[in-house]
Amino acid sequence: MTGPLTHVRVLDLSRIMAGPWAGQVLADLGADVIKVERPGTGDDTRSWGPPFLDTESGYFLSVNRGKRSVTADLATDEGQELVRRLAATSDIVLENFKAGTLDRYGLGYEDLRAVKPDLIYCSITGFGQTGPRRDQAAYDFMIQAMGGLMSVTGEPDDRPGGGPQKVGIPVVDLFTGMYAATGVLAALAHRDRTGEGDHIDLAMLDVQVGILANQAMNHLISGDVPVRRGNRHPNIQPQDVYPCRDGHLVVAVGNDGQFVQFCEALGKPELATDPDYATNKARVRNVEALTALIRETLAGGDLEHWLHELGSRSVPCGPINTVPMAFADEQVRHRGMVRKLPHPTLGSVPQVVSPLRFRNAALDFVMAPPLLGQHSAEATDGLTARNRT
């Protein structure tokens, strides 16, 4: 394995998506990630299908690349002892059990800190280790709802298809996984300086509230309640989806200079000097009238025509690709985002790999998501040492 984290071992006790996503990020960066799963069934997502590739679900295959799988029943003395042995040679522990669960098994932070004093232990839960909801379970969908995201996603109620919508991917899980990876790497940097480990308390609801970003600040400084606007941006215009004669076009004008070029492409240069549209502030204020003018013009031409006209003037725009179309995009193909990795029973499995590109610590992608318990024998035959096969 290569990458900047080849000196790091991660003990991944997590399941589903948020914790495993963090583990996969670290594995892609070269860390030795040991995934501990329940005997017989493993991670819940192994059965979350269809689709399946033989017996492996697409869901599981999307989030467990580069890891070793070891089975252990954490409710037994034997399973608990194995986790302690693994923790003793690990730098990081990832877990997403309900608050207090691992403490009851003797595998909480204080327990594992006793065997590895400088351990970095990241606990991922729906609501955190403190507070009135600490004992409640959570899933991405409900946190998107509770954290405000669905209130600003989807068409307004008075439009066709109106109503709150979740994002099409488990965005809270993914962001939580990224925050977890960032947090443990920050803790590693702190440990390198001080010799101290840490316990990170990461809550999905906190993450969702944290990533409300501009929508949150819009509310905090104005007192207004953000609403669903469909594809229309609340602060920058024109940014929307517009129908063409043979499809739909996304336009993302980001400044007044781009708007001048946009108007040139539309054959309406006068709009760029009209006081109702000359500045972004004016365009946001007069977005309804501006949108009507743009829609009328773009509807008269084909998608490829507008992509050429706007692209030649460096106006940000693009088609709405399906997933297969995104994978077929020449830029995505050039960047090698989809690769096939060798698999012990399937021959190979496709993977969407890390977008990180390092010049001096290049990443390799050689380990497919593991079979359940694939590396259990190694756990009693030397895996607790820092060897890698």
Which positions are annotated as active-site residues? 173
- CB 43 within 8 Å of CB 62: no
Q: Does the N-terminal peptide bond of residue 51 adopt cis geometry, omega within 30 degrees of 0? A: yes
Distance CA 290, CA 288 (A): 5
**Dihedral (CA of 67, 68, 71, 77) sign:** negative
Q: For residue 298, give both structure tokens.
A: 């773009």
Three-class DSSP category at 45: helix
- Looking up tokens 């946190």 gives 143
| 314 DSSP β-pair partners | none
Strands 239-244 and 32-37, by their bridges, are unpaired
Report CA torsion sign: 111, 116, 117, 121: negative
**3 state SS of 277:** coil
* φ and ψ of 16, to 5 deg: 70, -110
The amino acid present at 81, given as its one-letter code, is E
List of residues 6+ apart from 330 with CB closer than 8 A: none
Alpha carbons within 13 angstroms on the beta-carbon side of residue 140 total 17
Q: Is 266 left (phi over 0), alpha (psi -120 to 50) or beta?
A: alpha
Query: Within the chain, what is the greatest distance between any pair of CA atoms?
Result: 77
CA–CA gap between residue 205 and residue 126 (Å, rounded) = 6
CB 317 within 8 A of CB 252: yes
Give Cα 152 distance to the centre of its chain. Answer: 19
